[in-house]
A and B are shown apart, each in its own frame.
Chain A
Amino acid sequence: MSMSQEVLLDVKDLKVHFSIPSGKLFKKPGLLKAVDGVSFQVKAGETLGVVGESGCGKSTLGRAVLRLLKPTDGQVAWFGQEMGGMKPEELRNVRSDLQVIFQDPLASLDPRMTIGQIIGEPLITHYPKLSKAEVKEKVKAMMAKVGLLPEQVNRYPHEFSGGQCQRIGIARAMILEPKLIVCDEAVSALDVSIQAQIVNLLMGLQKEFGLSLIFISHNLSIVRHISHRIMVLYLGRMMEVADRDAIYAKPLHPYTKALISAVPIPDPEIERNKEHVALKGDLPSPLNPPSGCVFRTRCPFAKDICAAEVPALKSFAGGREAACHFIEE
């Protein structure tokens, strides 16, 4: 991606901490650092893939960007304007440019509403002056665009399949023609064949409307297909961020290396002979993360310094960044 593009979203040192009741009287509640010091930018028309294991803070990050959660610390700036300091009306205006697609297609649609009402809801919220006929017309146009039959506008969500429900979710997110959509595991709950259709639909819409995506997923193959840049999270911290091709060709961080080597290659000959970096152990409890580098307990290269010092995010050639003590160019 070239440098000339406009920066839509600028996230600096974002932290989201939850206090977890200990369950015991007189004992201090634990602090869960779901997202701890994450910084990144999203430019117009680009897709940022966010990958990591379950519980590494991917979804929390998405929710904090959408301000469904209040961040504990750090800045989220939309077109250079800090969202934390916005008045409710300003935030409402930003929300028309910032939409979300959820993981569970059926759960993200209100079962008591028709498809037309669901897709039209953002429209009547932001343009209350539109007549019912105009709303319906726009809804139908959007339904056609995402591959739904417009005459099904009066049907209810339980009458559709998972893939169709996800298309409805996409239509709802697209109806205001937003600038950025957060896709929170948007295809993980779907069949593989449907996943491809939905991803291609998203990429088509991105091309047509010049939209940016934050694509949160644990499926590395899909992230590779859709993303321009990829960010790797581990226990709420950033491990590495780089352009797609660079990160898949030469991952810098040991965690990224392990992740990428775990992606199966659909050719048994290559798959059998390729180098696997198997990680030992489980993800440590986020309530009690390791000192220093959070990845050190599972890192094959860990040394004493890793336990003592938190590695800073260092910049490398090609605009990539990684947080490890032992990376040399």
Chain B
Amino acid sequence: MAVDMEMNSAGSAEKEIQGRSLWQDAFRRLLTNKASVVSCIILLSIVVIAVAGPWVHPHPFDEVYWDYIQAAPDMEAGFYFGTDTNGRDLFVRTLYGIRVSMLVGLVATGVSLIIGVTYGAISGYIGGRTDHIMMRFVDIMYSMPFMFFVILLMVIFGRNIFLIFAALGAVEWLTMARIVRGQALSIKNREFVEAARASGVSNFNIIRRHIIPNALGPVIVYVTLTIPQVILIESFLSFLGLGVQEPMTSLGVLISEGAQQMESAPWTLLFPASALAIILFCFNFIGDGLRDALDPRDR
């Protein structure tokens, strides 16, 4: 929290007892959850390998090796995951796929987080008619057929990775807004918010200082569950041929291509699919751990 930092850094000349915040408590509880900690470590290693790997690896992602068309994994030639039907190194292409999928997941979730939290907190805190209007708008957005929406965007603006960010963000923030609104509705009637109102704190500061930090627990959990969801939707779009464009790739594209060669070259499906599965598992375990850590009443 920015507020925490501001206050804690001030005037620590005398000996002050440092309290333990609810966030720190939750973090300690998270560390006791083995599945989450292991998932965190695996996920971090995957990210490091995906980011640094292509620099170190001898084969570029878009070069065609005519001698190695659809070759099985070969350690000596440096094709750890084999090659695809066009003779490109599958290992480095999988790393690129992870990069793109993670980026889509993080950016789209980030967009949905910012829009959803702001929208939901304002709607829930102000309440009354404003709340009704804002939430009916969300309902209308919900009822739009998502695939149709994406295809329409693609037709109008052409295929573009930023469009995927925008499209996914535009859909994912709706649920976020509903979650935050529900939290805001219950928090705004708590006595500490009344105390803040009574001492003349502005609505903006009440939302920023009291509503959002207290609504953040369920939001963080939802974020860790949204990232894999977004990665899946992106893979699905790529599978349908609406995602990223060749020679750039994503896990969805790789899986789609691998599925066609499933019988003659199983490794083209196996490696990207396992990468996706591991990433999704990790996010889900982290999400689970966070939920337990942030809301100890449930255990």
Q: List 5 interface pairs A-B (beta carbons < 8 Å), by A numbering.
A: A66-B198, A102-B195, A114-B21, A122-B199, A176-B199
- Interface core residue of B23, B191, B214 (most chain A CB under 10 Å): B191
How many chain B residues touch A (Cβ–Cβ < 8 Å)?
36
Evaluate contact between A136 and B11: CB separation under 8 angstroms.
Answer: yes
Known: A104-B191, A137-B11, A151-B15. A110 touches B199 (CB 8 A): no
Identify B194's interface contact among A100, A111, A118, A176, CB under 8 A. Answer: A100
Specify which chain A residues have a CB less than 8 angstroms from the CB of B14 in the assembled complex: 151
Q: Is B200 an interface residue (CB 8 A)?
A: yes
Q: Is the CB of A116 within 8 A of B7?
A: yes
Contact of A99 among B10, B11, B198 (CB under 8 A): B198
CA distance A158 to B201 in the complex (A): 23
A68 near B198 (CB under 8 angstroms)? yes
List residues 139-158 of chain A with CB under 8 A from any CB of chain B: 151-156, 158
Decide if B20 touches A156 in the complex (CB within 8 Å). yes
Q: With CB as the reference atom, state the residue of chain B lying closest to A182.
A: B198
Q: Which 6 A-B pairs have the closest CB atoms?
A: A155-B19, A132-B10, A95-B200, A108-B191, A122-B199, A112-B213
Q: Taking the nearest CB of chain A, how far is it from the CB of B190, in angstroms?
A: 6
- B-contacting residues, A103-141, CB 8 Å: 103-104, 107-118, 120-122, 125-126, 132-133, 135-137
B17 and A112 form a contact (CB under 8 A): no
Contact assessment for A151 and B7 in the assembled complex, using a CB-CB cutoff below 8 Å = no
Nearest CB of B to A172, in Å: 7
In Å, the complex CA distance between A116 and B18 comes to: 11
A-B contact count (CB 8 A): 114
Chain A residues packing against B (C-beta within 8 Å): 63, 66, 68, 91-92, 95-96, 98-100, 102-104, 107-118, 120-122, 125-126, 132-133, 135-137, 151-156, 158-159, 169, 172, 176
Q: Which of A111, A116, A121 has the most CB of B within 10 A?
A: A121
For A111, list chain B residues within 8 Å (CB).
Answer: 22, 214
Smallest CB separation, A253 vs chain B (Å)? 31
| B6 at interface by CB-CB < 8 Å | yes
Q: How far is the CA of A115 from the CA of B18 in the complex (A)?
A: 11
Q: Which residues on the B side are within 8 Å of A112 (C-beta)? A: 1, 21-23, 210, 213-214
- B173-198 vs A, Cβ < 8 Å mask (1 yes, 0 no): 00000000000000000111011111
Residues of A within 8 A of B191 (CB): 102-104, 107-108
The residue that B8 contacts in the complex, of A103, A114, A121, with Cβ under 8 A, is A114
* Chain A: minimal CB distance from B46 (Å): 32
Q: Name the residue in B1, B16, B198, B205 with the highest tally of chain A Cβ atoms < 10 Å from its Cβ.
A: B198
Which interface residue of B11, B16, B190, B195 has the most chain A CB atoms within 10 A? B195
A256 to B20, CA, bound (A): 49
Closest to A98 in B: B198
Q: Chain A contacts of B21 at CB under 8 A?
A: 112, 114, 156
**CB within 8 Å for A121 and B199 given contacts A102-B191, A107-B191, A110-B214:** yes
Look across to chain B and name the residue whose beta carbon is closest to the beta carbon of A135.
B10
CB neighbours (8 Å) of B209 from chain A are: 110, 113, 121
Q: Pick from A91, A151, A172: contact of B195, CB below 8 A.
A: A172
Smallest Cβ-Cβ distance to B210: which chain A residue: A110
Q: Which residues of A contact B56 (CB under 8 A)?
A: none
